[in-house]
Structure 1
């Protein structure tokens, strides 16, 4: 009788042991799939994200505009700037737009507010040119000027 009990115990014990390798294999497979997805997304830069800010070199100067001094923005090199994506801010929180629709290498423009007034060097202590991602809510500072 002792032998029967041992064989019965082995038979019932083998059913419990078979579950462990199956669960372990399923967990390893799941972890592998998740890791592959994460690594693939990071390496291939796939997924919903923001556009990269334009690589551009900007400079500023003060120019005479019909007797008034205005701050000019110079595009020294790099990618073209689309005016709809550019906001010029002062330290007071005022926002200005570019006076042209597009700014490419070698061009200059003044920054104007809603009423058409340009930024004067005596009006501000700091001017910051900011690119706004058209597909998201991110911003990048492209340049800063202190007259």
Structure 2
């Protein structure tokens, strides 16, 4: 019997052995829950939303009908000015006139009938402005919609951060 008591004291009694497996199970469940939460966040795309929020910037739109352009001919203009709010990288913006791209990070879209008098580059802050005029076939007309569209870098997330209706 002394051998049995000695063995039990060395290995541990039944009461002490149950603690270790219970703690192990609790730790495994906790690790599983944490991993599921992290993986679920990125699978559902919540990680992208957290990384880059849309800027809150204000823009004003000024229009001129049959104004003189750089070449001395007449054209219709839109002047878009960043009035305040968050600074925005010009590489993340594009300007559309009635859903036709007039300007993007690569510059003016001359093939779409637009020309640029002055442009945007770098980080835009209050006072930054761009002037776009129609180059051919009256592309900027009364009632059309001009939009400033922001695109998150490294993502396909977009948002309209400025919008106006052409009014001469």
Q: Give me the TM-score of the superposition, normalised by structure 2.
A: 0.53
Alpha-carbon spacing, 1:27–1:128, altered in 2? closer, same or farther (3 Å): farther
Per-residue displacement from partner, 1:72-99 (whole Å, max 9, x unpaired)?
11211022332221112233x3112162
The count of aligned residue pairs is: 121
**C-alpha distance in structure 2 between counterparts of 1:33 and 1:57, whole Å:** 45
Per-residue displacement from partner, 1:89-139 (whole Å, max 9, x unpaired)?
233x311216221432023212468x79996244x6212211111222211
Q: Give me the TM-score of the superposition, normalised by structure 1.
A: 0.59
Q: Give unpaired runs (5+ residues) of structure 1.
A: 1-17
2:77–2:133 contact (8 Å) kept in structure 1: no
**C-alpha distance in structure 1 between counterparts of 2:60 and 2:138, whole Å:** 17
**C-alpha distance in structure 1 between counterparts of 2:149 and 2:103, whole Å:** 10
Deviation at 1:26, TM superposition (A): 5.2
Alpha-carbon spacing, 1:74–1:118, altered in 2? closer, same or farther (3 Å): farther
**1:62 is matched with which residue?**
63
Match of 1:86 among 75, 86, 93: 93
Q: Aligned to 1:31, what secondary structure does the other structure show?
A: helix
**2:31 is matched with which residue?**
33
Q: Aligned to 2:27, what secondary structure does the other structure show?
A: helix
Is 2:144 aligned against 1:125? yes
